[in-house]
Amino acid sequence: MKRKNLLVAMFFSALLVLACYQPLSAGWIIKSKTTSEYESSWSEMYLQNNVFKMVDKDHIFILNGNTRDLTFVNVQENTYWKGNLDDFKNRMKEFFGKAMDQYSAQMEEAMKNLTPEQREMMKQMGANNPMLNKMQGTKTKPPVVEVVRTGEVMTIVKRSARKYIVKSDGKKMEEVWLAENMISKKDWDPKIFRELAESMRMGIASTEYEDSEQYWKLGDKGIPLKTVYFQDDYKSVDEVVELTEKNLPASTFVPPSNCKEVSLDHIFQNMEE
């Protein structure tokens, strides 16, 4: 399944957006790029007065931290859905509940013709699948997460950034370069974004350390200007390439005028493609 498109992109961009809000008379435009051995991509963030928008080549996402309204836009289809965070959370639970029921029925049918040894192997594969554990609500032992503040500092987009290292069970998962002490919580409540991020990660495979309190607190320390992710032999880099302060009109945070409104079910169906 193509799960990476909207949800994963938003989750890994979230700390950047969350951390970038300060007491402002103007808004922010934050341009960043993601690179790996296999691909590269871009994204743009717009933030002002407790409202933010994330844009990539396929999607636009808008969250109003004051009203708890959110909007998903499918750029390719020229469609959008707008609703409330509380309704979205409930619908997410329903969606993944149905997906789990379908998966269980398919597994039961597939296992009818398997040997006892093959059935046991399939059960073990399911037990070790983090996505299924999330969908089923299975409790797993949380990893030991450590966030280390180092003495290394470098300049990124004309700002001083300090290196932090994130470890999970002793293994390095991320190197995060933060521009420290640039956050004003009174202008952006991190709780609503965490609430959204956790609802959107429901059923999505994760490396678990990202759900920890220590990891979320890292986002309170400053602006992440560069993050290097390590996953076995795979490495990817998120980096801010331009950070601009300017007044943003209200029209910045509304769907494009040529978009047609669709149901949330339509949005969920696209997640499965």
Residue partners of 145: CB distance under 8 A and separation at least 6: 166, 167, 168, 209, 212, 214, 215
pLDDT band of residue 147 (cuts 50, 70, 90) is very high
Helix (H) / strand (E) element for 146: namely: strand 145-156
- What is the CB neighbour count within 10 angstroms for residue 54? 22
- Provide the pairing of β-strand 171-180 with 222-231: antiparallel
Residue 54, pLDDT above cutoff 70: yes
Question: Which pLDDT does position 131 carry in this prediction?
Answer: 55
Sheet holding 260-261, edge to edge: 145-156, 159-168, 171-180, 222-231, 234-246, 27-36, 40-48, 51-55, 59-64, 69-74, 79-84, 260-261
CATH number, domain at 212? Answer: 2.50.20.10
Domain end (from 136, 171, 202): 136
Is residue 128 helix, strand or coil?
coil
- Token pair for residue 166? 């994130």
Domain end (from 136, 168, 191): 136
Residue 8, pLDDT above cutoff 70: no
Q: Are residues 105 and 119 in the same domain?
A: yes
Of 221-225, 227-231, 246-250, 269-273, the poorest mean pLDDT is in: 269-273
Round to whole Å and give the CA distance between 216 and 214. Answer: 6
What is the rounded average pLDDT of the residues 101-126? 75
Query: Token pair 């193509």 is at which residue?
Result: 2
Residue 7, pLDDT above cutoff 50: no
Question: Which pLDDT does position 92 carry in this prediction?
Answer: 79
Question: Which pLDDT does position 90 carry in this prediction?
Answer: 84
Is residue 253 helix, strand or coil?
helix
Report the largest interatomic distance among the alpha carbons of the chain, rounded to a whole angstrom: 67
Question: Which pLDDT does position 119 carry in this prediction?
Answer: 73
Dihedral of alpha carbons 228, 231, 236, 242, sign: negative
Residue 115, pLDDT above cutoff 50: yes
Half-sphere exposure of 29 (CA within 13 A, CB side): 9
Domain containing 129 equals 91-136
Q: Are residues 111 and 41 in the same domain?
A: no
- Provide the pairing of β-strand 234-246 with 222-231: antiparallel
> Which segments within 49-106 are labelled E, that is strand?
51-55, 59-64, 69-74, 79-84
- Token pair for residue 100? 């789990």
Q: Are residues 21 and 51 in the same domain?
A: yes
Question: What average pLDDT is seen over the chain?
Answer: 80
Q: Are residues 38 and 85 in the same domain?
A: yes
The alpha carbon of 182 is separated from its chain's Cα centroid by a whole number of angstroms, namely 21
Nearest to 57 by CA among 70, 69, 74: 74
Q: Are residues 38 and 98 in the same domain?
A: no
pLDDT tens-digit series, residues 21-47:
444 446 888 899 999 988 899 999 998
Q: Are residues 165 and 213 in the same domain?
A: yes
Q: Are residues 209 and 167 in the same domain?
A: yes
Question: Which pLDDT does position 217 carry in this prediction?
Answer: 87
Domain end (from 136, 152, 168): 136
pLDDT tens-digit series, residues 170-216:
999 999 999 887 655 555 666 777 787 777 665 454 557 888 889 98
Q: Are residues 176 and 256 in the same domain?
A: yes
Provide the number of structural domains found in the chain: 2
Q: Are residues 101 and 188 in the same domain?
A: no
